[in-house]
């Protein structure tokens, strides 16, 4: 009787538990996993909500988004949000799709590990996307279109409509 009651309680608890939504896709391919683990870059400075400096001297500007500049409203909040996201990965990042802008900065999509699962499976936070979704940056429309352009437009519209982050002060 006791084991049946335990099993019934366990079933009830599991069925009533909130559904967990994973925010970031798992990196599926072994090559991608290994490359990301081996090629993680060390961050030496978070310069703004969309710009970091790496240990090797490269300055990385997040592709497709624009953060407030120093002296503009919401600059510090945006920079702190970026710092917090990057701290999840112990200030390590993987940069993807590198190209240089007119100021010599590398335009990149930036990922930081949020956790390592068994069998070296890594869950990553797509930093550009996360900052945009919560309104800490806006869509930079002058950038060449990326594979994420449509998704970024939707996320910015949602952040604006829900007055998240920077959209609180712009409306």
| pLDDT tens over the chain, length 171 residues | 554 444 333 333 333 333 333 344 444 545 555 555 566 788 999 999 999 999 899 999 999 999 999 999 999 999 999 999 888 777 778 787 778 888 888 988 888 887 666 666 677 889 999 999 999 999 998 766 678 889 999 999 999 999 999 999 866
Does the reported pTM lie above 0.85?
no
* CATH class for the region spanning 23-170: mainly beta
Selection from 126, 144, 143 nearest residue 134 by Cα:
126
What pLDDT, in 10s, does the model give residues 120-143? Answer: 667 788 999 999 999 999 999 876
Kindly list the domain boundaries of the chain, sorted by start residue: 23-170
Q: What are phi and psi of 135, to 5 degrees?
A: 75, 20
């Amino acid at each position: 009787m006791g084991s049946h009651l335990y099993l019934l309680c366990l079933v009830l608890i599991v069925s009533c538990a909130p559904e967990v939504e994973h925010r970031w896709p798992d990196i599926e391919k072994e090559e991608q996993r290994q490359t990301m683990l081996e090629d993680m870059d060390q961050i030496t400075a978070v310069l703004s909500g969309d710009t970091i400096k790496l240990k090797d001297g490269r300055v990385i500007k997040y592709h497709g988004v624009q953060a407030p500049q120093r002296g503009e409203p919401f600059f510090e909040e945006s920079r702190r949000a970026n710092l917090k996201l990057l701290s999840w990965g112990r200030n390590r990042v993987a940069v993807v799709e590198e190209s240089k802008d007119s100021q010599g900065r590398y335009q990149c999509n930036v990922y930081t590990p949020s956790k390592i699962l068994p069998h070296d499976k890594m869950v990553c936070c797509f930093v550009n996307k996360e900052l945009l979704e919560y309104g800490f940056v806006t869509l930079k429309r002058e950038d060449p279109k990326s594979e994420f352009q449509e998704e970024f437009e939707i996320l910015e519209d949602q952040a604006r409509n829900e007055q998240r982050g920077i959209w609180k002060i712009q409306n």
